[in-house]
């Protein structure tokens, strides 16, 4: 590691007192509302999308599996890495908090960095998440390494778990918030418009008219009195009282104002498209029904979650195992709970698998989180599904056919 010691010393000599936090930069947008990784969370749809993705992945069990010689797999829950990923990645995080933090980073910044701390035997014993803003990827003699700009620490690529989202160069993931800043800003603009609109809680938007000439002081006094008594949400639906010949002429809402809710729904659809989510997960049920929600939920696992899961599994498989374990042991997220379907569908599926001898009773009970039962490991098969040879031999038909041939 002489190279990295050299690099570390090289950067340690540099002054970084004027380091600027990249999260403070904002992207110019068509709506005029600046968008940063932090301000984007002010958009409720963005907040919900990131939370749903993060919590969905975080709640999935991480299994450490071993391939057997006959092609089966067994869960190695006695392996030290199983406890590290499944229970306690570090001293201050549970597995749920750890995976959730990674997903929040990936879905907002496009990247997440976790330092691998090993013991003397090279076995990972601690996984330390880093702040995305503090990590840079650098090169030295065509070798890549990770550099922590706060601690002046250089890390080999094998000592850093780098989880990334969609990438153009394979090295850095793209931030959905940066790439789609205009759409997010547009949604934030709608929310700001809604706040301004409903702040004038009196829905009797219009003008006060009188035939009498009013002084400037009278106009100001009338305006203040009207706003104090009939503006704001708390004053909505109050009875409007006019005096001294005043008339109130309502003004019909503009098309833009009357279509505010429709625009809000479109904004939610845009955010769902950015994060590759079914709209119903963001509580947009305008085009949802019971049947298509079930199908969308399965597609959510296949098309939204699986790309993250496969990427995470491959990164951990490549960097957490010892060389003699690579290819034999592997991590796997268990998505069975998300893919089970409704009770009727599961019942029909289990019935079919049981009848053709593909699953035992105990295997079915395990998938339903039920305890094993005695004799439940046997495989059953209906006789009408047996091969012709089995039926002939088992039913004595073979001997009858041979006897008939001899008599002839």
Q: Is 386 helix (H, G, I), strand (E, B) or coil?
A: coil
Q: Which residue has the higher pLDDT, 329 or 406?
A: 329
Percent of the chain with pLDDT over 70: 69
What is the residue-averaged pLDDT of the chain? 78
pLDDT tens-digit readout, 100-158: 999 999 999 999 999 999 999 999 999 999 999 999 988 887 788 898 888 888 999 99
Last residue of a domain, one of 150, 182, 214: 182
Residue whose C-alpha is closest to residue 143's, from 153, 132, 157? 157
Domain assignment of residue 353, given as a range: 340-408
Query: What does the alpha-carbon distance between residue 192 and residue 190 come to, in Å, rounded to a whole number?
Result: 5
Query: Parallel, antiparallel, or unpaired: how do β-strands 111-118 and 73-75 relate?
Result: unpaired
Banded pLDDT at 15 (limits 50, 70, 90): very low
In which residue are the tokens 């330390």 written?
128
| Burial classification of residue 155, based on how many CB atoms lie within 10 Å of its CB (0-12 exposed, 13-18 middle, 19 or more buried) | buried
88 has a pLDDT exceeding 90: yes
The answer to whether position 325 is within a domain reads no
The answer to whether position 355 is within a domain reads yes
Q: What's the count of helices (H) and strands (E) in the chain, helices before strands?
A: 16, 11
Most confident of 164-178, 363-377, 388-402: 164-178
- Residue 58's Cα: distance from chain center in Å? 9
- DSSP codes of every residue in 48-101: HHHHHHHHHHHTS-EEEEEE-TTS-EEE-TTSHHHHHHHT-SBTTB-HHHHHHH
Last residue of a domain, one of 153, 182, 211: 182
Instruction: Indicate the pTM of the whole model.
Output: 0.70
Q: Which residue has the higher pLDDT, 193 or 126?
A: 126
The answer to whether position 317 is within a domain reads no
Given a contact cutoff of 8 angstroms between Cβ atoms, the answer to whether 149 and 136 are in contact is yes
pLDDT tens-digit readout, 314-328: 999 999 999 999 989
| Domain count along the chain | 2
pLDDT tens-digit readout, 223-276: 777 777 666 555 555 556 555 566 766 656 555 555 655 666 777 888 889 999
Query: Region 391-400: what's the mean pLDDT?
Result: 55
Last residue of a domain, one of 131, 157, 182: 182
- DSSP codes of every residue in 193-223: HHHHHHHS-----EEEE-SS---HHHHHHHH
The answer to whether position 16 is within a domain reads yes
pLDDT confidence of residue 226 = 72
The answer to whether position 121 is within a domain reads yes
Banded pLDDT at 348 (limits 50, 70, 90): confident
The answer to whether position 42 is within a domain reads yes
């Amino acid at each position: 590691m002489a190279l990295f010691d050299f690099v570390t010393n090289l950067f340690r000599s540099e002054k970084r007192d004027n380091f600027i936090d990249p999260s403070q930069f904002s992207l110019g947008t068509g709506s005029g509302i600046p968008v940063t990784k932090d301000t984007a969370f002010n958009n409720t749809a963005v907040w919900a999308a990131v939370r749903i993705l993060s919590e969905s992945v975080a709640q999935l069990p991480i299994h450490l599996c071993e391939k057997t010689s006959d092609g089966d797999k067994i869960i190695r829950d006695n392996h030290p890495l199983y406890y590290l990923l499944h229970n306690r990645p570090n001293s201050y995080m549970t597995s749920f908090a750890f995976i959730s933090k990674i997903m929040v980073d990936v879905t907002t910044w496009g990247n997440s960095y976790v330092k691998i701390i090993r013991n003397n035997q090279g076995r990972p014993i601690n996984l330390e998440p880093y702040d995305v803003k503090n990590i840079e990827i650098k090169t030295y003699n065509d070798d890549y390494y990770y550099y922590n700009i706060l601690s002046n620490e250089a890390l080999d690529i094998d000592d850093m778990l780098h989880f990334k989202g969609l990438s153009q160069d394979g090295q850095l993931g793209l931030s959905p918030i940066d790439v789609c800043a205009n759409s997010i800003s547009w949604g934030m603009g709608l929310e700001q418009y809604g706040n301004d609109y409903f702040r004038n809680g009196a829905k009797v938007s219009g003008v006060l008219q009188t035939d009498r000439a009013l002084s400037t002081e009278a106009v100001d006094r009338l305006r203040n009195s009207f706003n104090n008594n009939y503006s704001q949400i708390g004053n909505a639906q109050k009875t409007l009282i006019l005096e001294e010949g005043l008339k109130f002429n309502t003004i019909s809402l503009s098309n833009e104002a009357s279509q505010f809710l429709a625009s809000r729904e479109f904004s939610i659809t845009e955010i769902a498209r950015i994060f590759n989510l079914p709209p119903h997960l963001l509580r947009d049920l305008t085009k949802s029904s019971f049947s298509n929600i079930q199908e969308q939920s399965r597609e959510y696992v296949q098309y939204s979650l699986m790309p993250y899961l496969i990427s995470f599994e491959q990164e951990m498989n490549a960097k957490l195992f010892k060389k003699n374990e690579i290819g034999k042991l592997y991590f796997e997220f268990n998505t069975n709970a998300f893919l089970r379907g409704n009770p009727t569908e599961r019942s029909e599926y289990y019935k079919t698998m049981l009848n053709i001898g593909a699953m035992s009773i105990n295997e079915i009970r395990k998938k339903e989180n039920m305890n094993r039962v005695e004799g439940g490991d046997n495989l059953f098969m209906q006789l009408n599904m047996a091969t012709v040879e089995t039926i002939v031999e088992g039913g004595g038909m073979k001997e009858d056919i041979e006897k008939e041939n001899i008599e002839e």
